[in-house]
Amino acid sequence: MWTTPTPTPISNPYLYFDHISNHILINQILLGGNIEMKICFKLHNDNMNNHIHNDSNESSSSTSVAPVLRPHTGGDVRWEAINSVISRDGEIGLSHFRLLKRIGYGDIGSVYLVELRGTNAYFAMKVMDKASLASRNKLLRAQTEREILGLLDHPFLPTLYSYFETDKFYCLVMEFCGGGNLHTLRQKQPNKHFTEEATRFFTSQVLLALEYLHMLGIVYRDLKPENVLVRDEGHIMLSDFDLSLRCSVNPTLVKSTPGQGGNNIGANGSGMVEDDNVVHTSSSQTSNFFPRILPSKKNRKTKSDFGFLVGGQLPEFMAEPTNVRSMSFVGTHEYLAPEIIRGEGHGSAVDWWTFGVFLYELLHGTTPFKGQGNRATLFNVVGQPLRFPESPQVSHMARDLMKGLLVKEPHKRIAYRRGATEIKQHPFFEGVNWALVRSAHPPHVPEPIDFSQFASKDNPAGGPQSSEKKVTENNKSSSTDPCYANFEYF
Instruction: Give the integer Cα–Cα distance in Å for 324 and 134.
Output: 27
End-to-end CA distance of the chain: 50
User: Each residue of 262-319: pLDDT tens digit?
Assistant: 334 433 333 333 333 333 333 333 333 333 334 445 555 554 444 444 455 667 777 7
Instruction: Give the integer Cα–Cα distance in Å for 135 and 142.
Output: 13
| DSSP summary character for residue 207 | H
Task: Check: CB of residue 332 under 8 Å from CB of residue 222.
Answer: yes
Q: What is the pLDDT of residue 152?
A: 94
The catalytically annotated residue of 129, 222, 240, 242 is: 222
Instruction: Give the integer Cα–Cα distance in Å for 33 and 291.
Output: 15
For 450, residues 6+ apart whose C-beta sits below 8 A from its C-beta are: none
Taking the CA atoms of 61, 64, 66 and 72 in sequence, report the sign of the dihedral they define.
Answer: positive
Strand runs labelled E in 30-118:
36-42, 97-105, 110-116
The answer to whether residue 222 is catalytic is yes
Task: Check: CB of residue 238 under 8 Å from CB of residue 209.
Answer: yes
Q: What is the pLDDT of residue 22?
A: 37
87-121 burial: b if 16+ Cβ within 10 Å, else e: eeeeebebebbbbbebbbbbbbbbbbbbbbbeeeb
| DSSP summary character for residue 460 | T
CA atoms within 13 A on the CB side of 160: 22
Burial of 460 (0-12, 13-18, 19+ CB in 10 A): exposed
71-176+456-484 is classed CATH 3.30.230.70: no
CA-based nearest residue to 123, from 149, 98, 147, 91: 98
Task: Check: CB of residue 121 under 8 Å from CB of residue 106.
Answer: no
For residue 236, what are the β-bridge partners? 230
182-248+321-439 is classed CATH 3.40.640.10: no
Distance of CA 197 to the CA centre of its chain: 22
Instruction: Give the integer Cα–Cα distance in Å for 104 and 202.
Output: 22
Instruction: Give the integer Cα–Cα distance in Å for 117 and 95.
Output: 9
Task: Check: CB of residue 18 under 8 Å from CB of residue 29.
Answer: no
DSSP, collapsed to helix, strand or coil, labels residue 476 as helix
For 28, phi then psi, to 5°, come to: -125, 120
Range 133-139 contact pairs with CB under 8 angstroms and sequence separation of 24 or more? 133/108, 133/170, 138/107, 138/108, 138/242
User: Each residue of 112-170: pLDDT tens digit?
Assistant: 999 999 999 999 999 999 999 999 999 999 999 999 999 999 999 999 999 999 999 99
- Alpha-helical (H) ranges within 372-430 are 374-383, 396-405, 420-424
Instruction: Give the integer Cα–Cα distance in Å for 67 and 151.
Output: 11
Strand runs labelled E in 72-224:
97-105, 110-116, 121-129, 160-165, 169-174, 218-219
Instruction: Give the integer Cα–Cα distance in Å for 6 and 412.
Output: 41
Residue ranges of domains in the chain: 8-44+251-318, 71-176+456-484, 182-248+321-439
CA-based nearest residue to 68, from 156, 155, 151, 171: 151
Instruction: Give the integer Cα–Cα distance in Å for 222 and 126.
Output: 17
Q: What is the pLDDT of residue 248?
A: 80
Instruction: Give the integer Cα–Cα distance in Å for 272 and 259.
Output: 11
Strand runs labelled E in 33-120:
36-42, 97-105, 110-116
Task: Check: CB of residue 215 under 8 Å from CB of residue 291.
Answer: no
Task: Check: CB of residue 188 under 8 Å from CB of residue 198.
Answer: no
Q: What is the pLDDT of residue 477?
A: 52
Instruction: Give the integer Cα–Cα distance in Å for 4 and 20.
Output: 9
Q: What is the pLDDT of residue 326?
A: 80
DSSP, collapsed to helix, strand or coil, labels residue 160 as strand
Under-50 pLDDT residues of the chain? 1-65, 258-296, 303-310, 459-462, 478-490
